[in-house]
Amino acid sequence: MNVPYEELFDSSVTLKQNEWTQDALQEIPTCKGVLLFVDQQNQPIQIIQTGNLRRAVCARLLQKQTETSRKTDIATLSQKIFWASCHSNFMTQVNYLRLAHTLYAETANNWIQLPTPFFAVIDLDAPLPYFYISNDPVTSGKRIAYGLFPNRKTVLEFTETLNTVFCLCRNPSLLKTPRRSSCPYFQMQKCPGPCLDSSQKQSYLNRVHKAIAGANGHTESANNMLNQMMNSASNSMDFEKANELKRQIDQLKKLEKSDYRWVHDLKDLTILHVDESFRQAIEGKKRKVRYYKWLKIVSDGIYDLGDFLPDSDGYIERFLEQKWTTAPRISYASDIKEHLGNVAYFLFRSKQPGFWLDCTEGIDADRLYSGLDTCLKLKEPLTKKKDTEQNSVSQKT
C-alpha cells in the first residue's frame, strides 16, 4: 500500500507507556465507522467495521484474554489505531470495502464477506434466446441482465417462470447436439420445436420479446392473452388445455411477489437512498442538527448527491426539480458484481437501514415524501409541510 494511513482515515491514537488505557481511548468517537489496528512495523493487523468505534476498541484492547484462549491478543500487537467515522450502516460498509481494497489489494477478499449475487440473463444474439441464471451482471451487445434478487433460488424461479410461460427453450444443452428431437418438452408437446423447424423462428422471437416485457414487469398483456386462451379452451370443452393455461397464469403471478420488487434491466436500475449524515451546530439551535445524505445508486456504482436538512423550506421540492444525473462517483468496490452484491445485501435485509426508493421509472414525489416521513421521524411530517407550501403557492397565483 502506497497511500499513507493518515490520508485514508480521520485520525488515530498511539500506544503510550506500553499499555492501552481507558483514558487513552477517550478521543475515539462513539459513532459508526471503520477501525484499523497497526503493529510496530506499521503493518495492518486487522480492519473492522462497527456501530460504535470506541466500544469496539475497548472490547479488543482492554478486556483480558483467558489463559485457554487460542486467539492472539491484539492488544499486545497493536501500536496504533486509525479510524474513519461514518454515520449510516450503508456508508460504513461502503467505506469498509473501499479501505479493504486499498489496504490489502489482491488479498482484500479475505476481509470481505458478501453473499454472491445472481442475475437473470438473456442473450438475444443466441439462435434461440432463453433466460438463464448467471453470476455475471455485465451487459454487452444484446446481452440483457436482470437484478436485483435476494438469493439464487428466486433467480432460478424467475428464469423458469419466464421460459415456461412464454414457451422458450428449457433444454438448451441439446441445441448443440444431433439429438434435438429427443427433448422431453418437444415429445410431451410442451414446446413446438423451433430448433427442428426453422419456419417457427419468427414466432419464437415474438415470444422472446413478450418474455422480456414480462421480465420488465409488464405482465398484464400476457396475463390477458392467457386468460382469453383459457376461456376459449373451456368453451371448447378442452379442459386439459384450459388447466395447463391456468397453471401458466398462476406461474406468471409469481413475478408479482415482493422478492422481485427490485428486479429491472440492470442498465436502467436506479435507486435513491437516504440515511443519516453528520451533525452540525446551527445558529439559533441549542443542539447540533442532524443532516441527511442523498445517494443515487445505479448498476455501475454509487453517486453522492450531497447532504441536506429535511426541514429546510422547499429543499426537497428543489431537489426533485433539479437534474440529478451528474454527481461525484464513490469508488469503493472491485467490480460491478461486488457493488451490486453489496446493494442487494441491504435491500433484502428484514430491517432496511434508512430509506430506499426505486426510481428506475422516475422519482415518485408522493412516495418520496411519505418514505422520508417514516425514515426521518420529524416532528412536523414533510407531507404536511409539502401540502402547506403548495397551498401557499396556489393562493399567491
- Which of 34, 50, 27, 47 is closest to 84 using CA atoms? 34
Q: What is the pLDDT of residue 351?
A: 87
- Say whether both 124 and 256 belong to one domain: yes
Average pLDDT taken over every residue of the chain: 85
Q: Which of residues 167 and 180 earns the better pLDDT score?
A: 167
- Say whether both 125 and 256 belong to one domain: yes
- Say whether both 100 and 35 belong to one domain: yes
Domain finish residue from 206, 231, 260: 260
- Say whether both 101 and 162 belong to one domain: no
Assess if residue 224 is contained within a domain: yes
Name the percent of the chain lying above pLDDT 90: 44
Give residue-wise pLDDT tens across range 89-109.
999 999 999 999 999 988 999
- Say whether both 66 and 26 belong to one domain: yes
Place of cell 479475505: 110
Q: What is the DSSP letter of 293?
A: E
Q: Helix 201-215 to helix 152-165 angle, to the nearest 10 degrees?
A: 140
- CA gap 345, 333 in Å, rounded: 14
Contact 148, 115 (CB under 8 A): no
- Say whether both 79 and 157 belong to one domain: no
- CA gap 185, 183 in Å, rounded: 6
Assess if residue 217 is contained within a domain: yes
Cα-based angle 273, 118, 121 (whole degrees, multiple of 5): 105
In this prediction, residues 351-372 reach a mean pLDDT of 88
Domain that holds residue 391: 269-396
Which of 57-61, 90-94, 171-175, 322-326 shows the lowest per-residue confidence on average (mean pLDDT)? 322-326
Assess if residue 191 is contained within a domain: no
- Say whether both 282 and 308 belong to one domain: yes
Give residue-wise pLDDT tens across range 67-86.
445 566 788 888 999 999 99
Output phi, psi for 9, to 5 deg.
-120, 165
Q: What is the pLDDT of residue 234?
A: 77
Domain finish residue from 260, 284, 301: 260
In the predicted model, is pLDDT for residue 368 greater than 80?
yes
Give residue-wise pLDDT tens across range 105-122.
889 999 999 999 999 999
Assess if residue 188 is contained within a domain: no
Domain finish residue from 88, 111, 134: 111
- CA gap 154, 118 in Å, rounded: 9
pTM confidence score: 0.86
Output phi, psi for 51, to 5 deg.
-85, -10
Assess if residue 181 is contained within a domain: no
Contact 289, 280 (CB under 8 A): yes
- Say whether both 124 and 253 belong to one domain: yes
Assess if residue 243 is contained within a domain: yes
- Say whether both 99 and 146 belong to one domain: no
Q: What is the pLDDT of residue 228?
A: 79
Contact 293, 307 (CB under 8 A): yes
Assess if residue 348 is contained within a domain: yes
- Say whether both 136 and 252 belong to one domain: yes
- Say whether both 139 and 72 belong to one domain: no
Assess if residue 296 is contained within a domain: yes
- Say whether both 243 and 326 belong to one domain: no
Q: What contacts 121, CB < 8 A, 6 or more positions away?
A: 131, 132, 133, 134, 136, 143, 144, 145, 146
Count up the domains in the chain and report the number.
3
Output phi, psi for 79, to 5 deg.
-105, -25
Give the burial string for 225-252 (b: 16+ CB within 10 Å, else e): ebeebbeebeeeeeeeebeebbebbebb
